[in-house]
C-alpha cells in the first residue's frame, strides 16, 4: 500500500484545513448578508428620507451638495394635514399615523381578548384531540395572504356586516371604512396571539396548578390567577408581536380602509394608514426625485422606526419578565 | 354538630353555586373565542368560494379562458395567465436567491460560529428582520435596485422581475434561516461525533452527515417560506410590478405582474365584474398554497427520522 492511502498525510491535512478556512469564510459571508440587509434598510431609508426634507440625499449632502429646505422636520412630525397631491401640498404625517394607530388599536381589541381566551382554552381545557384539530385550523388564518383578507373585507365584512348593522344603529358608514380594516387585521393576528400565548401557558409546570387546586381553587381561578401571571412574559410578547404586525399590515387595510388621510377616531369613515399611502404612491409611479417619491421614504422611515421599537420592546419584555421553571 | 354545619362554617364565605356558574361562563367564553377564529376562517373561505362559484356558473366566466388570457380592460376578456407565469418566475428566482444564503447562514450559526458576540448579534438581528413590515423590503429594493443606474447602459434598472425576486428573497430569508436552524438542531450530536471520530473535518461532517440528515426539514421550511412569498403583494407593488400585465414576463429582466398584484388590481376596481375575477384568482392562489403546504407536510412525514 502506498503511503498516502495509509492515513492522513501532511498534504491532505493541510488541504482540509484550507478548505475548512474557505468554507468558514463563505458561510460567514452568508451570515453577513443578514446584517447587511438591516444596515441597508437603515441607510436607504435615512438617505432618501433626508432628501424629502432637504432636497439632497444624505450621502450627497455629506459630499458637499447644497441643501435646499423643502419640508420642515417639525412640520412633518406635528402637521395635521397630509395632502401631497394638493395644489397647496401639506406634509404633516400625523393623519397617517392616526390612521395606522386607529386600525392597530381596533385590531388589538379583537385579537387580544379572543387570542388569549383561545390560548387558555387550548392549554387548560381542550382535550388532546380537540387541540390537534383546533390549533392547525387557527394557524391556517395566519397562512392566508393578506390580499385575500382585503378582498374579504370589501366583499363581505363591509357590505354584509358593517354597513347593515351600523347603519341600522344610525351611523353613516362609507364603503371604505376603518372598521372593516380593524376586523380583518384583528382576525389575521388572532393566531399570533393564541399560538405564542399557548406555548407560554403550556410551559407553566403542573406543580403550580396542582398547588392551587390543593388550596381549593377552581379551574377558572387556576387559569386566570396562576397560569396567566406565570406565563405573562410570553403572553405580552405575543401581544406586542400582534400589534407590530398590525402596524405594518398593508394590503388588507389598503383595500378595506381606503385612501383619505384624516385626523379622526371615527371608525366608519375612510382613512389612510402609512402603509396604504405607500401603496397609493407606488401605484402612481411618482418620478424619481420628486417630493412625492421622497415622501415614500420619510413615511417608510416612521413605519420602520415604529415596528423596530415594538421589536425592541418585545425583546426587553421577554428578558425582564421571563420566568424559568425547571 | 353535624358535618353539614362544619362545611358551612369552613366555606361560609364561598358560594359554590356562584363559583360553578363563574367557571361555566368562563369556559363558555373561551370556547366561543376559539370558535370565533374557526368561524371567521369558514366565513372567509365561504365568501371566496361563493363568489368564485357565482363567477363561473352565474356570470359564465370560462375557467379555461381565465387561465389562458391575461389582463384586459374588459372583464369578460381578462385572465390570470400572465400573473401565474409571473409568480412562477418570481418563485424560481426567490428560491435561488434565498435558499443558499439562508441555509449557509443557518449552517454557520449552528455548526461553525463560536458562541460569541458576533453570533448573538446575527441572531438578534434575525429576530428584528422577521419583524420588518414587508412594504419596507419593497422600499429598500425600490431605492437600492430599481432606481439604480445600470453602469452598462446608463439607464435606470427599472421595475424588473429580478428586483421583485430580491425583495421577496430578503423577506423570507429569516424564515428560511430559522427553520433550517431547527432542522440542523434536530440532528443528534452523536452523528457529528461519529463523523469527527473518523477524522473528518467540521466541513466534511456537515457536508456528508449533518446536511443530508437535515435536508428534509430544510426543504420543508423552504417550501413553507415560499408559500409565504407567493402571496405577498405589498413589496411587489413597491418595486413597481405591473398591475395590468398583458403578457407573461419572458425572463428576469422583463417587467412583470404576479398573482397577488393582479388580484389586488381586480379587487380594487369599482366594477363588480372585476371582483368575480379577483375571487377566481384567489381560488387559484389558495389552491397553489394548499399544494405547497401539502408537499411540505408530505416531505416531512416521508423523510422525518426519529433519532
Using the Cβ of B40 and the Cβ atoms of chain A, whether some distance falls under 8 Å is answered with yes
Check if the beta carbon of residue B144 is closer than 8 Å to that of residue B114: no
C-alpha cell at A62: 455629506
Using the Cβ of B201 and the Cβ atoms of chain A, whether some distance falls under 8 Å is answered with yes
What does the DSSP assignment read for A60-129? HHHTTPPP---S-HHHHHH---EETTSSS-EE--HHHHHHHHHHHHHHHHHHHHHHHHHHHIIIII--HH
Minimal CA separation from A245 to chain B, in Å: 7
**pLDDT at res. A7:** 57
Rounded to the nearest integer, the mean pLDDT of chain B is 91
What does the DSSP assignment read for chain B? --HHHHHHHHTTT--HHHHHHHHHHHHHHHHHHHHHHHHHHHHHHHHHHHHHHIIIIIS---HHHHHH----SSGGG--SHHHHHHHHHHHHHHHHHHHHHHHHHHHIIIII--SSHHHHHHHHHHHHHHTS-HHHHHHHHIIIIITSBPTTTSSB--SBHHHHHHHHHHHHHHHHHHHHHHHHHTS-HHHHHHHHHTT--HHHHIIIIIHHHHHHHHHHHHHHHHHHHHT--HHHHHTT--SS--S---STTSB---HHHHHHHHHHSSSHHHHHHHHHHHHHHHHHHHHHHHHHHHHHHHH----
Cβ count near A137 (within 10 Å): 15
Per-residue DSSP letter, A2: -
**Cross-chain CB nearest to B263 (options A19, A117, A147):** A147
Q: What percent of chain A has pLDDT over 70?
A: 95
Among residues A54, A155, A115, A120, the alpha carbon closest in space to that of A239 is found at A115
**pLDDT at res. A1:** 42
CB pair distance less than 8 Å for A24 and B112:
yes
Check if the beta carbon of residue B305 is closer than 8 Å to that of residue B296: no
B143: chain A residues, CB-CB within 8 Å: 44, 47-48, 297
C-alpha cell at A250: 398593508
**Considering the domain A90-321 in this protein, what is its CATH number?**
1.10.3720.10
CB pair distance less than 8 Å for B134 and A250:
yes
* pLDDT tens string B137-154: 999 999 999 888 777 777
CB pair distance less than 8 Å for B124 and A315:
yes
Beta-ladder partners of B149: B156
Task: Say how far apart CA A246 and CA A214 lie, in whole Å.
Answer: 41
Annotated domain spans of chain B: 67-303
φ and ψ at B149, to 5 degrees? -90, 125
The ipTM assigned to this model is: 0.92
**pLDDT at res. B1:** 43
pTM exceeding the 0.80 threshold for the entire prediction: yes
A37: chain B residues, CB-CB within 8 Å: 129, 140, 170, 173
Among residues B148, B227, B160, B92, the alpha carbon closest in space to that of A40 is found at B148
* pLDDT tens string B225-267: 999 999 999 999 999 898 888 889 998 999 999 999 999 999 9
**pLDDT at res. B2:** 46
Annotated domain spans of chain A: 3-70, 90-321
Task: Say how far apart CA B227 and CA B290 lie, in whole Å.
Answer: 9
Using the Cβ of A49 and the Cβ atoms of chain B, whether some distance falls under 8 Å is answered with no
Task: Say how far apart CA B175 and CA B222 lie, in whole Å.
Answer: 8
C-alpha cell at B163: 428586483
Task: Say how far apart CA A144 and CA A152 lie, in whole Å.
Answer: 11
B6 pLDDT higher than 80: no
Q: Between vectors from CA B130 to CA B186 and to CA B86, what angle results, nearest 5°?
A: 100
* pLDDT tens string A208-217: 999 999 998 9
Using the Cβ of A142 and the Cβ atoms of chain B, whether some distance falls under 8 Å is answered with no
**Cross-chain CB nearest to A255 (options B201, B240, B268):** B268
Q: Which residues of chain A have pLDDT under 70?
A: 1-9, 285-286, 323-326
Largest CA-CA distance found in chain A, in angstroms, rounded: 96
Task: Say how far apart CA B258 and CA B85 lie, in whole Å.
Answer: 8
What does the DSSP assignment read for B208-229? IIIHHHHHHHHHHHHHHHHHHH
Task: Say how far apart CA A209 and CA B42 lie, in whole Å.
Answer: 35
Q: What percent of chain B has pLDDT over 70?
A: 95
Beta-ladder partners of A83: A90
A125: chain B residues, CB-CB within 8 Å: 27, 30-31
In this structure, which topology does domain B67-303 adopt according to CATH? MetI-like fold (1.10.3720)
**Cross-chain CB nearest to B140 (options A19, A44, A315):** A44
Using the Cβ of A270 and the Cβ atoms of chain B, whether some distance falls under 8 Å is answered with no
* pLDDT tens string A32-45: 999 999 999 999 99
Check if the beta carbon of residue A56 is closer than 8 Å to that of residue A68: yes
CB pair distance less than 8 Å for B204 and A250:
no
**Cross-chain CB nearest to B285 (options A45, A145, A283):** A145
Using the Cβ of A117 and the Cβ atoms of chain B, whether some distance falls under 8 Å is answered with yes
Using the Cβ of B23 and the Cβ atoms of chain A, whether some distance falls under 8 Å is answered with yes
Using the Cβ of B110 and the Cβ atoms of chain A, whether some distance falls under 8 Å is answered with no
Helix A232-248 to helix A94-120 angle (10° resolution) is 140
Query: Which position has the grid cell 441572531?
Result: B123
Distant-in-sequence, close-in-space partners of A143: CB < 8 Å, separation ≥ 6 = B227, B228, B289, B293
* pLDDT tens string B96-110: 999 999 999 999 999
B5 pLDDT higher than 70: no
**pLDDT at res. B30:** 96
CB proximity under 8 Å: A 272-291 to B: 275, 278-279, 282-283, 285, 288
Using the Cβ of A21 and the Cβ atoms of chain B, whether some distance falls under 8 Å is answered with no
Among residues A100, A109, A66, A62, the alpha carbon closest in space to that of A254 is found at A100
A156: chain B residues, CB-CB within 8 Å: 43-44, 47
Interface test with B, best of A217, A228, A251 (most B CBs within 10 A): A251
Interface test with B, best of A145, A216, A316 (most B CBs within 10 A): A145
Q: Between vectors from CA A102 to CA B270 and to CA B131, what angle results, nearest 5°?
A: 95
Using the Cβ of A196 and the Cβ atoms of chain B, whether some distance falls under 8 Å is answered with no
**pLDDT at res. B246:** 86
**pLDDT at res. A2:** 45
**pLDDT at res. A323:** 66
**Cross-chain CB nearest to B133 (options A26, A219, A248):** A248
Minimal CA separation from B67 to chain A, in Å: 19
B170: confidence class by pLDDT, cuts 50, 70, 90? very high
CB proximity under 8 Å: B 79-98 to A: none
The residue that leads in pLDDT, B44 or B70, is: B44
Rg of chain B's alpha carbons, rounded to an integer?
27
Check if the beta carbon of residue A164 is closer than 8 Å to that of residue A88: no
* pLDDT tens string A74-121: 889 998 899 888 888 889 999 999 999 999 999 999 999 999 999 999
Among residues A121, A72, A113, the alpha carbon closest in space to that of A93 is found at A72
Amino acid at each position: 500500500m502506498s503511503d498516502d492511502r495509509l492515513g492522513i498525510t501532511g498534504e491532505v491535512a493541510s488541504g482540509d484545513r484550507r478548505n475548512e478556512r474557505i468554507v468558514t469564510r463563505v458561510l460567514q459571508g452568508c451570515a453577513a448578508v443578514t446584517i447587511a440587509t438591516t444596515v441597508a434598510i437603515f441607510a436607504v431609508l435615512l438617505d432618501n428620507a433626508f432628501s424629502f426634507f432637504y432636497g439632497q440625499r444624505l450621502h450627497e449632502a455629506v459630499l458637499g451638495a447644497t441643501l435646499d429646505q423643502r419640508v420642515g422636520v417639525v412640520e412633518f412630525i406635528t402637521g395635521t394635514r397630509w395632502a401631497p397631491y394638493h395644489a397647496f401640498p401639506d406634509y404633516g404625517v400625523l393623519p397617517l399615523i392616526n390612521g395606522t394607530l386607529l386600525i392597530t388599536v381596533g385590531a388589538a381589541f379583537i385579537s387580544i381578548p379572543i387570542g388569549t381566551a383561545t390560548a387558555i382554552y387550548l392549554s387548560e381545557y381542550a382535550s388532546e384531540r380537540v387541540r390537534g384539530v383546533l390549533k392547525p385550523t387557527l394557524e391556517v388564518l395566519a397562512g392566508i395572504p393578506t390580499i385575500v383578507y382585503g378582498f374579504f373585507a370589501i366583499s363581505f365584512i363591509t357590505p354584509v356586516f358593517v354597513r347593515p348593522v351600523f347603519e341600522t344603529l344610525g351611523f353613516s358608514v362609507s364603503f371604505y371604512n376603518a372598521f372593516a380594516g380593524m376586523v380583518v387585521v384583528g382576525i389575521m393576528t388572532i393566531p399570533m396571539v393564541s399560538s405564542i400565548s399557548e406555548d407560554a401557558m403550556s410551559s407553566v409546570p403542573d406543580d403550580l396548578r396542582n398547588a392551587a387546586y390543593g388550596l381549593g381553587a377552581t379551574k377558572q381561578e387556576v387559569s386566570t390567577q396562576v397560569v396567566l401571571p406565570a406565563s405573562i412574559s410570553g403572553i405580552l410578547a405575543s401581544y406586542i408581536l400582534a400589534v407590530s404586525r398590525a402596524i405594518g399590515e398593508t394590503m388588507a387595510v389598503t383595500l378595506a380602509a381606503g385612501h383619505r388621510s384624516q385626523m379622526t377616531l371615527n371608525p366608519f369613515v375612510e382613512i389612510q394608514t402609512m402603509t396604504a399611502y405607500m401603496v397609493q404612491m407606488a401605484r402612481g409611479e411618482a418620478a424619481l426625485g420628486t417630493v412625492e417619491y421622497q415622501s415614500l421614504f420619510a413615511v417608510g422611515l416612521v413605519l420602520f422606526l415604529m415596528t423596530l421599537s415594538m421589536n425592541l420592546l418585545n425583546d426587553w419584555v421577554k428578558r425582564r419578565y421571563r420566568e424559568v421553571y425547571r | 354538630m353535624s358535618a353539614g354545619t362544619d362545611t358551612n362554617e369552613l366555606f361560609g364565605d364561598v358560594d359554590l353555586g356562584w363559583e360553578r356558574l363563574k367557571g361555566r361562563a368562563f369556559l363558555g367564553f373561551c370556547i366561543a373565542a376559539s370558535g370565533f377564529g374557526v368561524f371567521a376562517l369558514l366565513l372567509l373561505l365561504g365568501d371566496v368560494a361563493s363568489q368564485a362559484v357565482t363567477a363561473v356558473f352565474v356570470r359564465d366566466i370560462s375557467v379555461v379562458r381565465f387561465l389562458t388570457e391575461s389582463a384586459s380592460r374588459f372583464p369578460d376578456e381578462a385572465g390570470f395567465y400572465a400573473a401565474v407565469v409571473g409568480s412562477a418566475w418570481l418563485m424560481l428566482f426567490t428560491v435561488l436567491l434565498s435558499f443558499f444564503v439562508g441555509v449557509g447562514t443557518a449552517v454557520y450559526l449552528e455548526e461553525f460560529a463560536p458562541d460569541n458576540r458576533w453570533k448573538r448579534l446575527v441572531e438578534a438581528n434575525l429576530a428584528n428582520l422577521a419583524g420588518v413590515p414587508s412594504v419596507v423590503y419593497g422600499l429598500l429594493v425600490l431605492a437600492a435596485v430599481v432606481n439604480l443606474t445600470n453602469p452598462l447602459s446608463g439607464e435606470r434598472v427599472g421595475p424588473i422581475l429580478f428586483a421583485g425576486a430580491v425583495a421577496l428573497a430578503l423577506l423570507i430569508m429569516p424564515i428560511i434561516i430559522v427553520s433550517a436552524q431547527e432542522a440542523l438542531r434536530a440532528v443528534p450530536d452523536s452523528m457529528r461525533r461519529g463523523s469527527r471520530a473518523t477524522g473528518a473535518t467540521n466541513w466534511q461532517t456537515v457536508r456528508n452527515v449533518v446536511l443530508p440528515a437535515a435536508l428534509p426539514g430544510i426543504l420543508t421550511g423552504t417550501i413553507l417560506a415560499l408559500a409565504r412569498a407567493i402571496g405577498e403583494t405589498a413589496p411587489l407593488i413597491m418595486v413597481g410590478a405591473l398591475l395590468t400585465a398583458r403578457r407573461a414576463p419572458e425572463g428576469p429582466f422583463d417587467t412583470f405582474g404576479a398573482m397577488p398584484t393582479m388580484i389586488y388590481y381586480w379587487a380594487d376596481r369599482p366594477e363588480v365584474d372585476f371582483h368575480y375575477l379577483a375571487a377566481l384568482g384567489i381560488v387559484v392562489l389558495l389552491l397553489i398554497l394548499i399544494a405547497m403546504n401539502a408537499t411540505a407536510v408530505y416531505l416531512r412525514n416521508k423523510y422525518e427520522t426519529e433519532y
